């Protein structure tokens, strides 16, 4: 039986690409691997990729020299979590405060993990989570 080996990509749909790129690059310190008007891809470690798509910019199928990517889009605020080390929790809290980013919530999970929740510029709920959140993390 074939197995899934991991989650590779997470996508957020954004209204203003330069504003969103600045947030994820400058505030969260993610490194862009591909950048354009319609799509920016960030390295989030552990083979993970965060894709930012311009809202409405990917609705149609996207044929290219190597094949066709089916159209997709999303609306409304969504949630995603980024993994952080336990000893980076307080430095991340301080960094967010330094940049005027208000926390929407914090959780001390029963397994020992901790989470910080805040909004990105498009209203997506971003979580920074330490190990101990899930049985596999």
Cα-Cα end-to-end distance for the chain:
25
pLDDT tens digits, one per residue of 78-129 = 999 999 999 999 999 999 999 999 999 999 999 999 999 999 999 999 999 9
Distance CA 25, CA 50 (A): 11
Domain boundaries, the chain: 9-57+77-129
Write down the pLDDT at residue 42.
97
Contacts of 130 (CB under 8 A, 6+ apart): 83, 84, 85, 86, 88, 89, 113, 114, 115
pLDDT tens digits, one per residue of 34-70 = 999 999 999 999 889 999 999 999 999 999 999 999 9
The CATH architecture that domain 9-57+77-129 belongs to is Roll (3.10)
Write down the pLDDT at residue 6.
85
Closest to 13 (Cα-Cα) out of 45, 56, 43? 56
């Amino acid at each position: 039986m074939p197995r899934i080996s991991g989650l590779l990509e997470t996508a957020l749909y954004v209204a203003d690409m330069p504003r969103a790129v600045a947030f994820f690059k400058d505030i969260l310190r993610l490194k862009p691997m591909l950048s354009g008007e319609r799509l920016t891809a960030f390295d989030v470690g552990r083979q993970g990729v965060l894709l930012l798509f311009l809202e409405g910019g990917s609705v149609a199928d996207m044929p290219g020299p190597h094949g066709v990517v089916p159209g997709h889009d999303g609306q409304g605020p969504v949630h995603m979590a980024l993994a952080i080390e336990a000893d980076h929790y307080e430095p991340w809290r301080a960094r967010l405060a330094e940049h005027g980013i208000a926390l929407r919530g914090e959780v001390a999970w029963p397994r020992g993990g901790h989470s910080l929740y805040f909004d990105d510029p498009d209203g997506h709920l971003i979580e920074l989570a330490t190990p101990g959140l899930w049985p596999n993390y």
